[in-house]
Amino acid sequence: PIEPWFISGPVIKGFGRGSKVLGIPTANLPAENFADVVSEHTSGVYFGWAGLSTRGIYKMVMSIGWNPYFDNTEKTVEPWLLHNFDEDFYGEELRLAIVGYIRPEANFPSLESLIERIHVDGKIAEKALDLPIYARYKDSQYLRNPL
C-alpha cells in the first residue's frame, strides 16, 4: 500500500494519442501545477478515484511518467477513467485520489503489447478498488468539493 495523494486541475489537451493510437483516452492534467508531488512519486502505473465536477466519481488507472514508448521529454499525469463517456470533458475540473500502485513504467516492444498491458492494468485497478482499503477513498471530500 502507498500513502494516498491527491491532485486536481482542469483537463487539458495532450497529443491526442490516447484515443487515436491506443484506443484508450487519458485525461491529461497540467503536471506543472504539482510538479513537486509528481517528482516525489516513482514513474509507473497507479490507480484510484477520479471526481469530475459535473458528472460523478469514477474508478481510474493512471500512468505517471515519461511514456517511453513515445519518447516524451516531459513527465505526464494521465488518468484513464474506467467508464464510457458519451463526450469529451476538456476544461472540466478533475480531482484525483491516488491510492495504489500497480507497476513501474516499462517500455514495450510493440503497440499491441502496450495496449494489452494497459487493459490488464485496468482490470487490476477495477478489482483492487472494490477492496475496502481502497474503496473507502471514494467518499473523500476532496473528490467532491471544488477548492
Taking CA atoms, 118 is separated from 10, 53, 139, in Å, by: 24, 26, 26
Q: Which does 10 bind (CB under 5 to 8 A by kind): ligand ADP, Mg ion, none?
A: none
Stretch that binds Mg ion, among 8-16, 35-43, 54-62, 94-102 (CB under 5 A): 8-16
Closest distance between Mg ion and the C-beta of residue 14, in Å?
A: 4
78 tagged catalytic: yes
Closest distance between ligand ADP and the C-beta of residue 46, in Å?
A: 15
Taking CA atoms, 38 is separated from 13, 88, 89, 125, in Å, by: 19, 25, 23, 20
Closest distance between Mg ion and the C-beta of residue 76, in Å?
A: 8
* Residue of 56, 70, 90, 103 that binds ligand ADP (CB under 6 A): 90
Choice among 32, 78, 112, 116 that is catalytic: 78
Stretch that binds Mg ion, among 5-13, 21-29, 41-49, 123-131 (CB under 5 A): 21-29
Strand 76-81 and strand 93-104: the pairing is unpaired
Stretch that binds Mg ion, among 16-24, 38-46, 48-56, 106-114 (CB under 5 A): 16-24
Beta strands in the chain (DSSP E): 5-10, 44-52, 56-65, 76-81, 93-104
Closest distance between Mg ion and the C-beta of residue 11, in Å?
A: 9
* Residue of 15, 42, 104, 107 that binds ligand ADP (CB under 6 A): 15
Residues 6+ apart with CB under 8 A from 142: 6, 8, 51, 95, 97
User: How is residue 43 written as a grid cell?
Assistant: 514513474
Alpha helices in the chain (DSSP H): 17, 35-40, 111-128, 132-135, 141-144
Catalytic residues, which ones?
Answer: 78
